[in-house]
Chains A and B, each alone.
Chain A
Amino acid sequence: MNHEALATELRDLRQQVSGITDTALAASDGLLIAADTANSIEPEGLAAMAAASVGLARRTSVATARGRFRRTVTYGAHGCAAYYAVGDTALMVVLGDEGMDVDRLNAVSGPIVERIGSILTDSAGKPATAKGA
């Protein structure tokens, strides 16, 4: 896995869309892959909750014949949490404040999710390295 490429994608996303506060990547089973999060966020817990949320949304999408799952967004009084499927094996979490432009996020995140999927796929099945980001 190209760690630096993954980190660059997350960093670029936060710089491209105003209002993004945190981002993370997780495997579909909830294990954390990468986190660009503030100290106030516990990334392991975020990854686990995101996987549960995406798992439920994915099943709902299939069971209600809505087609292939793309994303789910949770809105709160002070912002939102958007979860994007990265293929069938991983997911991306984006947290934003109430000013975040979700339409722009959706537009920008499409190609980023594809690139992240390619980076993760390249590493699938290969032995892990100890390289840091």
Chain B
Amino acid sequence: MAGLPAVRVSAGHDLLSGALAACARERYSGRVLVVGTPGGVLHLRDGLVVAAESPGAPGPEALLLRSGRIDAGVWDAVLRESGGARPPWAMLVARGALGAAQLRVMCLMAMRDAVFAMTVGQVDGVGHDPGGEPSAPVEPGELPARLLQDAARKIRALAALPYPVVPWRERPRPAGGVAVLGVLRREIVRHADGRRTARDLAFLVGRGVYPVTVEIARMLADGVLAQDVAPAPIPVRAAAYELRPREAPDVGERTPDRRDGLPRRQPGAGAPGWKGFFRLRHGGPAQHSRQPRDT
């Protein structure tokens, strides 16, 4: 851990705090764009935060699908029915696939988690965009100051752990020891490969980035996980030949009616391999696709 920057409430938190305090005073409605790493977006109505999204934290969709709480087939079906424009949360509730209270709690957790991810990261600037509607707003919304206090408390709690972890920094791997593990720890050990951060693992297992980061910090301290000092080498092949552009197949003579470089398709014709595909699908010997029919 020596030499790594400390986990702390950053100057970016103050920048965001000032901008959101102004939004609350002016009862702003619209989006607040947080520029930075991972950055994100907060949706406000009348000065209250109703949703927050960040590449640094799983949203409700990832939480529900990755954790298996919603079946992917059910999700795809309601997406098709809804036209696919926005996540069909109301349809899921109407079908009984998800409780209204469960959805609300999930959205609230995702919102707080996104604010945590934005504030523990780097905030370079804040912008405003009056447009944009969140897919799953939490009504009536949270006071911005309360959300930021919650995020700051989490960052301080993380910093106080024996092995503080930043969600986008450490890339742990199993230490190889034998330990009794709970469900979350088992999942983390299964997926920690020395490449994934706490943020990556949170997406993968469908859990909030804060609880996953805390658990990884504890596992590193317990010796269940280990953090390599140097990143794994990236193998690079020596180019034993000269790189050259890919050549398009010359199909001009075989398809004299092609225009502007686009080969014309013939009814019943397929790309090489289609016959093999149908042979596999139908489980029988290859049949010619244009057999004369008995009349």
Contact = CB atoms under 8 A, between A and B. Distances in A.
A binds B: yes
Interface of B: 37-39, 55-59, 61-62, 65-66, 72, 76, 168, 193, 195-196, 199-200, 203-204, 231, 233-240, 242-246, 248, 260-262
Contacts of A70: none
Contacts of A72: none
A21 B200 contact: yes
Interface of A: 1, 3, 6-7, 10-11, 16-19, 21, 27-29, 31-36, 38-39, 51, 54-55, 58-59, 62-63, 77-78, 88-90, 97-101, 104, 120, 123-125, 128-133
A95 B234 CA distance: 16
B242 A6 contact: no
Contacts, number: 111
A34 B234 contact: yes
Contact of A18 (B56, B235, B244, B246): B56
Given A101-B39, A123-B239, A133 B234 contact: yes
Nearest to A128: B238
B238 A131 contact: yes
Contacts of B76: 77
Contact of B248 (A1, A51, A59, A123): A59
Residue of B55, B196, B243 with highest tally of chain A CB at under 10 A: B243
30 contacts: A1-B239, A6-B234, A7-B236, A11-B234, A16-B37, A18-B37, A18-B168, A19-B199, A19-B200, A32-B237, A34-B237, A58-B246, A59-B248, A62-B261, A63-B260, A77-B72, A89-B243, A90-B243, A97-B204, A98-B62, A101-B38, A101-B55, A104-B39, A104-B55, A128-B238, A128-B240, A131-B238, A132-B236, A133-B235, A133-B236
Main secondary structure of the interface of B (DSSP, over half): loop
A17 B98 CA distance: 32
Given A10-B234, A16-B37, A35-B235, A124 B242 contact: yes
Nearest to B121: A18
Contact of B236 (A34, A38, A39, A62): A34
Given A7-B233, A34-B235, A97-B204, A120 B243 contact: yes
A7 B234 contact: yes
Contact of B203 (A19, A29, A62): A19
Contacts of B61: 98
A22 to B, nearest CB: 8
